[in-house]
Amino acid sequence: MSTDTPVIDEICRLLGPHNPKGIALSAETDIPAELNIDSVGVLDFIMDVEDTFDIEIPMNVVAETHTIGDLVKVVEDRIKKRNA
């Protein structure tokens, strides 16, 4: 992905297929609860996030990640760690 694209925009783009009702997305959006994605759907979405940013987000971390803002922080931290 282009490094110019803010992480939150890319995450919202990846959530597109999981958001058929077109709910407005923000950092506060609770991904499983508000988008009504089941547990397996969340894990599939996280795999797309991992591949897009070329980072590792273990399942243990996913369990503690609820909102888009939470996920943005995880992604940014892991990009920094990868580049360190």
Q: Which stretch binds another protein (CB under 8 A): 8-16, 23-31, 54-62, 64-72?
A: 54-62
- Contact map string, positions 23 to 52, toward another protein, x by CB under 8 A: ---------------xxxx-xx--x--xx-
Residue 4 per-residue DSSP state: T
Structure tokens at 1: 């992905």
Provide the binding-site residues for another protein, judged by CB under 8 A: 38-41, 43-44, 47, 50-51, 54-56, 58-60, 81
